[in-house]
């Protein structure tokens, strides 16, 4: 029994990893005042590019570098069209997501003549697992937290980094000030547009890690539509945490647990679809509760005066 629990918790961490990357990526733009609906496309782009380039060059380093570049290129397209050409940000983001679902399949076909996945076609590299010395020997705990992919550990480091970036650095201060009052930031010479570009770029960088985890860690190949809504779940994890990276990580892990649970349930007779619905329904319910709390607070405050 204890063994099953440990295995399950291990799986929770494993499936939560891309969600954590996505959620903290969404936090960065949220703090700049923008909702990032395009995490999905950034992950897809980096997942495919990482596989293709690492396969072609047989260098993990170059592969990952290319993955980052791909995701950042997506953010540049989004930023340019919405902050310079004044296209609706949501529209561009959603358009990007659909474009990348198809676009990655197209590019995959171009490179491998395959339409489903790159499994047989490309000998791509992947990031390995890490056994943590000492901890791995602790019973139960070692089973849960040791032996994960390096990127999984990096995701937790990333949470700390993003927190540090947002709350302890000059650039974080500027991001938060633009998010709250762009005019105030502009009056002291901070260009909101630059900050928007920058925060989307950083968001793309972090989301790229999530994408590459999917194709170079969780799996070792790229499959069509392999992100399958994870970007959207990440975005909602961020949303119910109002952009705070640590809370967003917790939310992402709760959603990850639901995902892991539904994987387990598929084996049994219980309908796994109902569990798969959980993150989505949960988000809506929490958003409603937050709105109710907001209204109540406003009423209380008005009555105080």
Partner 1 sequence: MKETRKIEFGFEIFRIVVALAIAYGIALLCIMLISEDPFQAVYMFAVGPFTSVRRFGQLFGKFIPYLLTGAGMCFVYASNRFNLIGEGVYLMSGCLVTYAAVNMGDMGLPHLVFVLLLILVGALTGAVFGSVPAVLREKMGINETVVSIMMNYALLYLATYLVKTKMYDNSITYMASKQIPEDAKLTALISKTQLHGGIFIGLIAVGITALIFYRTALGYDIRICGANPKFAKASGINMTATLILAQVMGAVLAGIGGAVDILGIYDRYMWTALTNMGFDGLIVAVLSKKNPIFVPLGAFLLAYMRTGASILNYTSDIPIEFVDIMQAIIILLIAAEHFMGRYKEKLIFKASRKKNEGVA
Partner 2 sequence: MAEVLRMQDIVKIYSNGFMANKDVNLVVNEGEIHALVGENGAGKTTLMKILFGMEDFQGGRVLLDGADANISSPLDAIAKGIGMVHQHFMQVPSLTVAENVTLGIEPGRGMAFDKKEAIAITQEISDKYQLKVNANEKIADLGVGLRQKVEILKALVRKCRILILDEPTAVLTPQETQELFVQLKALKKGGIAIIFISHKLEEVMELCDRVTVLRAGRTVGTDVIENLNPAKISRMMVGRDVILEIEKELAKPTDLVLEIDALQYKNAENVMMVDGVSFGIRRGEIVGIAGVEGNGQNQVAELISGMLQISSGDIRICGKSVRGKNVREIRKMGMAYISEDRMVYGCAANLPIRENIMADRIHSKEYRKFGFLIDTKKINQDIDKLIEDFEVSCDDRTQPVRMLSGGNIQKVIVAREFSSGAHLILANQPTRGIDVGTTEMIRKTLVKKSREEGVAVLLVSSDLNEVLEVSDRLLVMKDGKIVAHFKDASTVSEELLGEYMLGVKTMTPEEMGELV
Chain residues binding partner 1 by CB under 8 A are 35, 37, 77, 81, 84-88, 90-92, 94-96, 98-103, 105-106, 109-110, 113, 115, 225, 229, 232, 235-236, 239, 271, 273-274, 276-277, 280-281, 283-284, 287-288, 291-292, 295
Tokens 């974080």 correspond to what residue? 172
Q: Which is nearer to partner 1, 71 or 158 (CB)?
A: 71
Using the rule CB under 8 A, give the single segment among 11-19, 187-195, 242-250, 280-288 that binds partner 2: 187-195
Per partner kind, with CB cut-offs from 5 to 8 A, the member of partner 1, partner 2, none near residue 173 is: partner 2
Q: Determine which helix (DSSP H) or strand (DSSP E) holds 67, and give its type and residue range.
A: helix 60-79
By CB under 8 A, is residue 304 in contact with partner 2? no
Nearer to partner 2 by Cβ, of 171 and 288: the residue is: 171
Contact (CB, 8 A) for 109 and 222:
no
> Which CB, 138 or 291, lies closer to partner 1?
291
CA separation for the pair 289, 20 (Å, rounded): 23
User: Cβ distance 26 to 238 under 8 Å?
Assistant: yes
Q: Which is closer to partner 2, CB of 115 or CB of 294? A: 294
Site for partner 2 in 154-173 (CB under 8 A): 168-173
Closer of 59 and 295 to partner 1 (Cβ): 295
Tell me if 223 sits within 8 A of 117, measured CB to CB: yes
What distance in Å separates the CA atoms of residue 105 and residue 124, rounded to the nearest whole number? 17
Residue 181 engages partner 2 in binding (rule: CB under 8 A): yes
DSSP 78-102: HHIIIIIS---HHHHHHHHHHHHHH
Considering only 110, 134, 300, 305, the residue that binds partner 2 (CB under 8 A) is: 305
87 part of the interface to partner 2, by CB under 8 A: no
Residue 189 engages partner 2 in binding (rule: CB under 8 A):
yes
State the Cα–Cα distance between residues 64 and 125, nearest whole angstrom: 10
- Region of 302 (left: φ > 0; alpha: ψ -120 to 50; beta: rest) is alpha
| 168 DSSP β-pair partners | none
Question: Per-residue DSSP letters for 215-259?
Answer: IIIISSS-BTTTTTTHHHHHHHHHHHTTT-HHHHHHHHHHHHHHH
- Binding partner 2 (rule: CB under 8 A), the pick from 97, 177, 236, 283 is 177
190 binds partner 2 (CB under 8 A): yes
* Residues 20-79 within binding reach of partner 2 (CB under 8 A): none
* Between 11 and 166, CB nearer to partner 2: 166
Residues that bind partner 2 (CB under 8 A): 168-174, 176-177, 180-181, 183-185, 187-190, 305
């Amino acid at each position: 029994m204890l063994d099953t629990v440990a295995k399950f918790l291990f799986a929770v961490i494993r499936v939560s990893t891309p969600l954590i990357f996505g959620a903290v990526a969404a936090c960065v733009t949220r703090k700049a005042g923008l909702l990032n609906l395009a995490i999905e496309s950034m992950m897809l782009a980096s997942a495919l590019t990482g596989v293709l380039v690492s396969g072609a060059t047989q260098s993990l380093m170059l592969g990952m570098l290319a993955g980052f570049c791909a995701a950042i290129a997506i953010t540049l397209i989004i930023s340019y069209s919405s902050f310079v050409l004044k296209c609706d940000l949501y529209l561009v983001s959603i358009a990007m997501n659909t474009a990348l679902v198809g676009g990655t399949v197209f590019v995959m076909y171009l490179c491998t003549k395959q339409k489903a996945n790159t499994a047989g076609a490309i000998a791509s590299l992947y990031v390995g697992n890490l056994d943590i010395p000492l901890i791995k020997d602790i019973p139960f705990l070692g089973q849960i937290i040791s032996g994960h992919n390096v990127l999984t550990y990096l995701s937790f480091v990333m949470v700390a980094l993003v927190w540090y970036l947002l709350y302890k650095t000059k650039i974080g201060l500027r991001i938060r000030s633009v998010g709250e009052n762009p005019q105030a930031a502009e009056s002291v010479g901070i260009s909101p547009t630059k900050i928007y570009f920058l925060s989307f770029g950083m968001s793309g960088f972090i989301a790229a890690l999530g994408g590459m985890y999917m194709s170079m860690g969780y799996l070792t190949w790229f499959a069509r539509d392999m992100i399958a809504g994870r970007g959207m779940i990440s975005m909602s994890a961020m949303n119910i945490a109002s952009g705070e990276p640590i809370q967003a990580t917790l939310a992402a892990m709760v959603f990850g647990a639901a995902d892991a649970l539904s994987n387990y349930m598929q084996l049994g007779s219980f309908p796994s679809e109902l569990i798969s619905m959980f993150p989505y329904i949960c988000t809506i319910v929490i958003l409603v509760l937050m709105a109710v709390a907001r209204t109540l607070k406003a009423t209380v405050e008005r009555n105080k005066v």
